A and B are shown apart, each in its own frame.
Chain A
Amino acid sequence: MSLSPKALAQALAVAGVAALLGLLVWKIAHRETTIADEVRGGKRPEAPGFTLPRLDGDGRLALASLRGKTVVLNFWQSICPPCEDEAPAFQRSWERYRRDGVVFVGIDYWDLSGNARRFARRFGITYPLVYDGPGTMMQPYGVTGAPETFFIDRTGRVVDHHAGQLSEDELAERLEEVLAS
């Protein structure tokens, strides 16, 4: 049986529409859940890995290199007033908990690197800072705005998440829970 060119074109058009419809259904059925969603749902997902350039020096920092330590991962921007407000609390908490095997890591995203470095100097931040200008880690972690903080246990699993500014007391309370777990 041979198809006329017109029938062939119609068949191709119908197949194209069917493929697009299938893609839409697949996309809806497989909507990606973020780390923030999973933690809210009571799960302890593995923290998405990254290797990003350091803001506070040369080289890059890989999250995988911190396995075995408790990590406080803080997404921030120099243009975010709540980030300015919480920065001194984070620096003091880092100085207090680093002896307990806790590492604070700041991820600066959607920001100018020069402004981010000035921010770090202004607040005297000494914990590791990495730079993610294009914001590549926002989607896997489900970051919706700065600041947001994720608590990662020694096995590399995200056990707590907070969207918004954290005070020194709130930070200590959450960290104690992670360290005790």
Chain B
Amino acid sequence: MLAALVLAAPALASERHPTLSELEPELVCPSCKTTLDLSTAPIAESMRAFIRRRIAAGDTKSEIKRRLVADFGPGVLATPPRSGFDLLAWLVPLGGALAAVAVVGVAAWRWSLGRPRREPAADPSSNGRAPLEPELERRLEEELARFDA
């Protein structure tokens, strides 16, 4: 709860009292298709002057964006809105990432099933040979005992 309040406070301040430097990366210059902070095109300069005037007039960040969308269309926003058809721009990459994780997971699981099982480590006393059947072992012990006698 406290963390949510701590995170929400700057966002609220930015919404109510935006600065030009906050808005520039969130808006696209219509002629050069880069964000305003990277553009020196005349229309970008014109948009910056407009934003300064609207900030001075007391507009919120949303109001400024709404005015620019009214003039240039939704393409002026650097990130698409999270509603309507534009929601697909958020959902498709997310779905793609989830699908990729699922494919990699299934592939890794199937690969692990297909690997040959490792034999248990050999008993040092067996000298690298496979262990004998208990019956055979017993008979071998008896023969060795008779031989020693």
Contact = CB atoms under 8 A, between A and B. Distances in A.
A in complex with B = yes
9 contacts: A77-B43, A80-B42, A110-B30, A111-B46, A111-B71, A133-B30, A133-B71, A133-B72, A135-B30
Interface residues of A, number: 13
B50 A112 contact: yes
Interface of B: prevailing SS: helix
A138 to B, nearest CB: 10
Contacts, number: 33
A51 interface: no
Contacts of A133: 30, 71-73
B75 A134 contact: yes
Nearest to B106: A5
Interface residues of B, number: 13
Given A134-B30, A135-B30, A111 B73 contact: no
B55 interface: no
Nearest to A135: B30
A160 B100 CA distance: 54
B47 interface: yes
Nearest to B68: A112
A135 B73 CA distance: 10
Nearest to A81: B42
Given A133-B72, A134-B73, A115 B30 contact: no
A91 interface: no
A112 B75 contact: no
Contact of A112 (B31, B46, B73): B46
B72 A79 contact: no
